[in-house]
Amino acid sequence: MKVLVLNCGSSSIKYQFIDTESGIALAKGMVERIGMSNAVLNHTSYGKDKIKIVGEILDHTIAIKYVIGVLLSPNHGVIKERKEIDAIGHRVVHGGEVFSGSVLITDLVIKTLKDFIDLAPLHNPPNIRGIEAAKENLPGVPQCAVFDTAFHTRMPEKAFLYGIPYELYTRHKIRRYGFHGTSHKYVAQKAAEFLEKPLENLKLITIHLGNGASITAVENGISVDTSMGFTPLEGLLMGTRSGDLDPSVILFIMDKEGLNISEANTLLNKHSGLMGLSGESSDMREIEQAVAAGNKRAKDAFDVMIYKIKKYIGAYIAALGGCDAIVFTGGIGENSVEVRRQVCENMSCLGIELDEKLNLNPQGECDLSAGNSKIRLLRIPTNEELVIARDTQRIISEQMK
Ligand code: ADP
């Protein structure tokens, strides 16, 4: 089956066109600056030259029309007819407590997603817009939703309840949900295959470090705790998000700086994290360059990020009562030699020993632990799009039975 995987943000759409049998992305790309006159579409088809289209793309419907256009392009595309797009798989950020797995998108599903826009005001509206835009462009093509929250829906209450009046949970569903679930689930499965052990017998800590970052404790294949919470703001220090802080800090800032709720949201989601602390960049490569050049604030930002990861590892070893392997994934986890090195530094007391040489130039899925490390330290590239494509294929095949 050939599945168009869409990850729709407020002004961008990332896409991949995946053959689920081979697992190969036949084409991939991204539309950015949707809604502006200088929108840009970058597209690459497997084995062909990259192309870039710049122009006015006013909304998601037009953006998807362009994506279908490049997929059909005789020179740059990979299909001859629209009907070669068998299905569409959407990354949907928030499934609330309703969706514990991927689903075929129906009118009822769209209505349910709209019902809990409150829970994910930044993420779910563009996801819904993407679903509606895809339906307009490809009527009749089945669509599935794959949720970032789904993997975490079996967390125990002790891990998902916050210490606030219980009625706030029952009334407003305020609880930890966790995100990046597709990635955590994928790398946990891959880790089990790599270790040649059943996932059901493993205690794993999966660390997804990208622009957003989260860490999950996985016991016997189930997410039992995770660092992101009610929204993706909680937990580790991220590119532009603060991660954990004393809730009073927010109230204090709103008061002192005269910020309203929306401005406080922007401050914590867009101007904090590596960006806010360093004043330089949200991008880890640039932070590392600034640290190497002696920039103190960049070093502070880097150190805070590392320190928080180390603390969560300690906490999750305690939560799991041990750990067989720690998995590094995401753009930073897969590629930053320095982040992995410093996270594992001085962690011998927990049985963590990194092989410095293996860490320097790892390729693909690999074990970076030294011979005496009690916990295996794995680097596993994530592939959320493939999970979305394969889930979509599975759900649609089940429907056709
Ligand atoms: P997203 O969360 O948007 O999917 P990615 O998973 O692609 O993001 O991760 C982006 C992050 O990975 C950026 O901070 C980027 O600087 C970092 N990154 C990518 N390659 C490297 C590298 N070689 N060394 C350090 N950081 C890297």
Q: Which residues contact 104 (CB under 8 A, 6 or more apart)?
A: 142, 143, 144, 395, 396, 399
Q: Which two tokens stand for residue 131?
A: 């679903």
222 DSSP β-pair partners? 219
Give this prediction's pTM: 0.94
Q: How many CB atoms lie within 10 A of CB 13?
A: 25
Q: What is the DSSP track for 378-395?
A: EE----HHHHHHHHHHHH
**Single-letter amino acid, residue 387:** V
Query: Where are the chain's structural domains?
Result: 2-147, 196-384
Nearest CA-CA partner of 144 in 160, 130, 165:
130
Cα dihedral sign, 213-218-222-224: negative
Give percent of the chain above pLDDT 90.
94
- Residue 176 is predicted with a pLDDT of 98
Distance CA 381, CA 329 (A): 5
Distance 329 CA to ligand 1 centre (A): 10
**If you average pLDDT over every residue of the chain, what do you get?**
96
Mean pLDDT of 258-285: 96
Nearest CA-CA partner of 17 in 45, 41, 59:
45
Residue 115 has pLDDT above 90, yes or no: no
Identical fold for domains 2-147 and 196-384, yes or no, is yes
Ligand 1 near 218 CB (within 6 A): no
Confidence of residue 400 (pLDDT cuts 50, 70, 90): confident
Identify which of 93, 228, 269, 332 to mutate to test ligand 1's pocket (most ligand atoms within 8 A of the CB): 332
User: Is it true that domain 196-384 has CATH number 3.90.79.10?
Assistant: no
Q: Which residue has the tokens 């590596």?
A: 274
Q: Which two tokens stand for residue 12?
A: 């961008």
Looking at domain 2-147, its CATH architecture is 2-Layer Sandwich (3.30)
Ligand 1 near 7 CB (within 6 A): no
Residue 247 belongs to what H/E stretch?
helix 247-257
Ramachandran angles phi, psi of 191, nearest 5°: -65, -45
